[in-house]
Amino acid sequence: MSEMESIDNMILRLKALKSAIKQKEKMRDKLFEMNHSNSTEKRRRKMSTDLNWHCMAIEKAKTEFARIFKNSFLDVDTEEKEYKPSSFQNYRG
């Protein structure tokens, strides 16, 4: 896979992840708005279960994205390194 294809793949996955997180927030808000007068216990349990499954799918997508990122060309060592081209020159960073 080329670098451009890798970037496009990551962008698509991030957009899908963003969309899933927005949907999760809507589901959560809808669940919090429910009360005993406007919904049944069965409906609240179903919405809670759906929200839990959706959150599990989001965690799986995050893990998958992290694996893809780790195996991509973008995964670089971010620790500070010293570069010493000669005995009197010392560059940090």
Cα 48 to Cα 59: distance, rounded to the nearest angstrom: 17
- Each residue of 59-87: pLDDT tens digit? 999 998 888 888 777 776 656 667 677 77
Average pLDDT of the residues in 30-38: 87
Reported pTM: 0.71
Residue closest to 24 by CA, chosen among 55, 60, 62 = 55
pLDDT of residue 76: 63
